[in-house]
Chain A
Amino acid sequence: MSDLKVELKQLIIDTLDLEDIAVSDIQDDEALFVDGLGLDSIDALELGLAIKKAYEVKIDANSEQTKQHFSSINALSDFISQAKA
C-alpha cells in the first residue's frame, strides 16, 4: 500500500471523525460514498476541503470528474498524484 493511500485513509478517518474505523478497514478499491464506507454528501464537502488544504489541489465542485476522483482511495490517490505532478 503506497504511503499516499495510507495518508488519505488517515485523513478521511480524522476529518470525518470515523471513531470506529481503522486504516486497515478501508479498502483501496472500495466505494467511499453511499455503498462502501457509507459517506454522504456533507462528508464529500468536508473531505474536499481537507484535501484542498492538505495537498493544495484544486477541486471543481460541479464536475462529473470530481465525482470520479472521489469514488475510491485508488481514484483519489491517482487524482492527487496527477494534480501534484
Chain B
Amino acid sequence: MKLHIESAGVWFPDCENGTPLNAILSNGTLPTSIWPKLAFVPPMQRRRLSPFAKIALYVAHQASEHTNNDLPMIFSSRHGDLHKTSDLLADLALNNELSPTAFSLSVHNAVAGLYSILTKNKSAINAIASGQDSLFMALIDAYARLKSGICHKVLLVHVDQALPSIYDTFKDEVQIDHAIALVLSLDESQKNAFEMKFESHKNIVNTANQMPAALNFYAWLNSKKSNLNIISTRYHWYCFKNV
C-alpha cells in the first residue's frame, strides 16, 4: 500500500529548542520534557489538558493548520493517557473519590474528541490501540479509509508517553514522550510518499529495547534511507520510499 504525505508534525523532548530528532534517537540520555504551550487553545480549555493531550494537540495542529477541510482523523496510542489512568486507578484503590475532570477525559478517544471540539471538526474519528503495532495499524486504517473513497485526506495522530514508573516491569522499548501527526492521501501528485508491506509472525518476545516505532518511522521519513524494517512481537513491517 502506498500513502502520500501532505503535511506532518512531530513532538519529542526538547524539540521546541531545536534539538534534532536524530540526536534524541542516538543519545542515551533524554532531555526533560517541557510541555508545549498551545497558544491556539483558549485558556479555559487549555487548563484541563494533560501533557499527553498537549503533545497530541500540538502535532495535530502542526500537521493540519493549513488545511481548511474537516479532516477525518485516526488517533493512535499504545498506552493512551496512562499517567491519568493510573492516577485514577490509584485513587480507586485508596477508596478516594475520582476527579470528575480526570474521569471525563480518561477514555482512549478523549484527546481526539477534544481536538474535534477545538477545531469544530465533525468528521469521523477512529481511535486505535494495538501494542507495538499501533502506528502501523493506524496507517492501515488510513489506507483503508482513503482507498474506499470515503475521504480524500486523513489526519493520523500517534502519541505515547514514557510509562508511569509503577509499570516499569512492562517496559519493552525505550521510554520517551513523543507524538507524530501525518496528513495522508492517495494523491499521486504529492511526491512525498512511501509504500508499506507487512508479514505476521508468531508471537516473539522483542527484547531489543528499540525506539518507539513512531519515532523511528518519522526519522526514516526525513532521512535519505530508502528502507525501514521494524519488527514487533507480532509483525514485520517493511517500508520503502524513493530517495
Residues on A lying within 8 angstroms of B by beta carbon are 16-20, 38, 42-43, 45-46, 49, 53
Query: Across the interface, do B100 and A38 meet the contact criterion of CB distance under 8 Å?
Result: no
**B100 is contacted by which of A17, A19, A46 (Cβ under 8 Å)?**
A46
Query: Across the interface, do B99 and A46 meet the contact criterion of CB distance under 8 Å?
Result: yes
Query: Across the interface, do A38 and B47 meet the contact criterion of CB distance under 8 Å?
Result: no
Query: Across the interface, do A38 and B44 meet the contact criterion of CB distance under 8 Å?
Result: yes
Contacts of B46 in A (CB 8 A): 19
Interface residues on B, range: 10 to 19
> Which residues 57-87 in B have Cβ within 8 Å of A in the complex?
none
B47's nearest neighbour on chain A, judged by CB, is A17
Give 1 or 0 for each of B96-113: 1 = CB within 8 Å of chain A CB. Answer: 010111001000000000
Inter-chain CB contacts under 8 Å: number: 23
B96's nearest neighbour on chain A, judged by CB, is A53
B48's nearest neighbour on chain A, judged by CB, is A17
B97's nearest neighbour on chain A, judged by CB, is A49
A17 to B47: give the CA distance in the assembly, Å.
6
Q: How far is the CB of B34 from chain A (nearest CB, A)?
A: 15
Give 1 or 0 for each of B21-57: 1 = CB within 8 Å of chain A CB. Answer: 0000000000000000000000110111000000000
A69 to B75: give the CA distance in the assembly, Å.
40
B42's nearest neighbour on chain A, judged by CB, is A38
Complex A-B, nearest 4 residue pairs according to Cβ-Cβ distance, in ascending order: A45-B100, A17-B47, A46-B101, A46-B100
Q: How far is the CB of A15 from chain B (nearest CB, A)?
A: 9
Q: How far is the CB of B174 from chain A (nearest CB, A)?
A: 31
A45 to B104: give the CA distance in the assembly, Å.
11
Query: Across the interface, do B99 and A20 meet the contact criterion of CB distance under 8 Å?
Result: no
Q: How far is the CB of A70 from chain B (nearest CB, A)?
A: 14
Contacts of A18 in B (CB 8 A): 47
Q: List 10 A-B contacts (CB under 8 A).
A: A16-B47, A17-B47, A17-B48, A19-B43, A20-B43, A42-B101, A42-B104, A45-B100, A46-B100, A49-B99
A17 to B46: give the CA distance in the assembly, Å.
9
Query: Across the interface, do B97 and A19 meet the contact criterion of CB distance under 8 Å?
Result: no
Q: How far is the CB of B57 from chain A (nearest CB, A)?
A: 16
A19 to B47: give the CA distance in the assembly, Å.
7
A2 to B46: give the CA distance in the assembly, Å.
31
A17 to B50: give the CA distance in the assembly, Å.
11
Contacts of A53 in B (CB 8 A): 97
Contacts of A38 in B (CB 8 A): 44
Residue of B46, B101, B104 ringed by the most chain A CB atoms within 10 A = B101
Task: A17-B48, A49-B97, A53-B97 given; name 7 further pairs at CB < 8 Å.
Answer: A19-B47, A20-B43, A42-B104, A43-B101, A45-B101, A46-B100, A49-B100
Contacts of A49 in B (CB 8 A): 97, 99-100
B46's nearest neighbour on chain A, judged by CB, is A19
A18 to B45: give the CA distance in the assembly, Å.
10
